[in-house]
Structure 1
Amino acid sequence: MNFKNRIARKLYTRRALAVSDALALAVGARMGQRPNGMQGSAARKPANCENADIFRYTPPHPGLATRRPALKQAKTSRGHSIYRGVVLWHESLLELRVSYLLQTWRDVREIHSQYPRVTFVDAEGKTRTHTFDFYVVFEDGRRLAIAVKMNRKRAEMLEMLARIEAEGICHNGGRRLADETRLMTEKDGNVASFHNCSEILAARETHDPVAVEELRQIIRCTTGRIRFATLLSGCRDVAARRAAVWHLIDLGELVSKGTGRIDELTWLSRGME
């Protein structure tokens, strides 16, 4: 792999060596052997690594995507995020905001981008194709195809989605690819929603179970509303408490009274447990 940056090359090399050492430990533990070249405490305690699969790196994949957008474009913001190992491409800031919103939905099993690709007949009788921006599969098996556009194009997009549904949400008369379609605009993926979703997704990765349980015991003893900042006061680790608050918001155990951006002055109340 060719690295133009010396630091990036060094970091990549160190990461690769760490992964190879971990795999060697795991294999040695399974075979009852000490890996060659391993010294120190790591070589003396191979039994700590019981399963080599936990050290195996699985690169993100494009999922069901039917196309890969260009990484650069002069007029739009391009990039991607990763949800459960699937790359979710976005071609605008609006699509990024909607992507983050979808990732915080409950009972979601899979999310794919640039899928499905369907055909429909327009008002002039011509056969057209359309690729949806996102495709959501819920735990109950329901499939939702989502188109993302600015609200000023709402009328024409709803007309197109109606034609797609009339054709069976399929490609050239094939099998049905989704159960329903939906249009999402900047009213769904707004700046406040993007901030809240970013905090929720970060808390999923960084929350401390001990801090979450400690906060859960606190809110069980409270009645009525309580400010976000009040939950942060008097704790030993503010960062861990903040992540715990956002995690309970994610779980629905804390509910915001407003619909806008959640900050330290937001009133929260107990939700469903």
Structure 2
Amino acid sequence: MRPEHYIKQHMLDRRNGIQRDYTIPGTTVWHKPTIQPRYKPVLPSEANRKPAPKSPFNYRGTQPNLDGERSMYFESDVELKAGRILRASPLVKELREQWPTIPYRGADGEWHTHTIDLWTLDHNNVRSLIAAKPWQVLVKTGTLHILRRIRAQGFSEYADRISFVTDVFANDDNNANAEWILLSRVNRNDEEYLIAKSILTRMVGNTVRFWDLLRSAPIEAHRRTAVWNLIDDGVLSPASPGRITDTSLLIIHAH
């Protein structure tokens, strides 16, 4: 981050009445999760295909799966962000990538196969096949036509729905929110969570600014984690779509 960006952020904070403490603490401040994370060897992906490790056109790599035990391949920026956003969603119970591989009859009359980017199982036990690509790529590669053929020819063996997501869904703002949720899940502290939740009972009205939940915290980072836990649990939700920041207005749903 360039110095001018820090200066701009400082001026925006002052404008919004946010007074940060820039004092360097005498000791290192660590997260204090109630449940200490246990690190185990990473299990290999269960994908039907392994993307090439390098490409001159897009991102390639792995991220943790929803269970946190297996690696999950991605071969584009949209796949990376979509996978992260789905991992952070409370509606998703199971997530797989590069699965299943479905046979379909093409326009040439021959049989072909197509491997789905993402497969999800939601809290209602509805299975979904999802193609995750930029809109231009969906059109250029003919993926939309392939999805239509698979839909017409049937796919009930694998899922109940078939759809796609693009960079409209897998955007920087949704991705940033998902990163905070996933980080806060790992570092959740039940005591700090209850303190943050008790503050909501003293609020007048049903909205609160994110920063107003942090301003009285002895350690801002610990309270910030707790607020994101409240968002993850549905106790708080943003009043408007987009990236959640310290100036975001949050709706209080339950105490």
The answer (yes or no) to whether the contact 1:86–1:111 under 8 Å persists in 2 is no
The answer (yes or no) to whether the contact 1:257–1:268 under 8 Å persists in 2 is yes
1:162 is aligned to: 148
1:266 aligns with 2:252: no
1:239 aligns with 2:221: yes
2:176 is aligned to: 195
2:70 is aligned to: 86
Q: Between the two proteins, what is the percent identity of the paired residues?
A: 28
Q: Which moved more, 1:160-169 or 1:225-234?
A: 160-169
Name the Cα RMSD after superposition. Answer: 2.0
- 1:246 CA drift (Å): 0.8
- Where 2:148 maps in the other structure, the secondary structure is helix
The answer (yes or no) to whether the contact 1:148–1:183 under 8 Å persists in 2 is yes
Flag the structure with more relative contact order, 1 or 2, with Cα contacts below 8 A and sequence separation at least 6. Answer: 2
CA–CA distance in structure 1, aligned partners of residues 111 and 186 of structure 2: 45
Greater helix fraction, Structure 1 or Structure 2: 1
Unaligned runs of 5+ in 1: 1-53, 171-175
- 1:154 CA drift (Å): 4.9
Q: TM-score under structure 1 normalisation?
A: 0.73
1:204 is aligned to: 185
Q: Which protein is bigger by CA-based radius of gyration?
A: 1
1:57 is aligned to: 40
Q: Which moved more, 1:232-241 or 1:85-94?
A: 85-94
2:206 is aligned to: 224
CA–CA distance in structure 1, aligned partners of residues 210 and 176 of structure 2: 15
Q: Judging changes above 3 Å, is the alpha-carbon distance between structure 1 residues 130 and 215 closer, same or farther for their aligned structure 2 residues?
A: same
2:11 is aligned to: none
1:74 aligns with 2:60: no
Q: How does 1:64-213 map to 2 (within 5 A)?
A: 65-83=47-65, 84=67, 85-154=69-138, 156-169=142-155, 176-213=157-194
- 1:55 CA drift (Å): 7.3
Q: TM-score under structure 2 normalisation?
A: 0.78
2:17 is aligned to: none
Unaligned runs of 5+ in 2: 1-36
Q: Judging changes above 3 Å, is the alpha-carbon distance between structure 1 residues 239 and 61 closer, same or farther for their aligned structure 2 residues?
A: same
CA–CA distance in structure 1, aligned partners of residues 50 and 230 of structure 2: 35
- 1:158 CA drift (Å): 3.4
- 1:122 CA drift (Å): 2.3
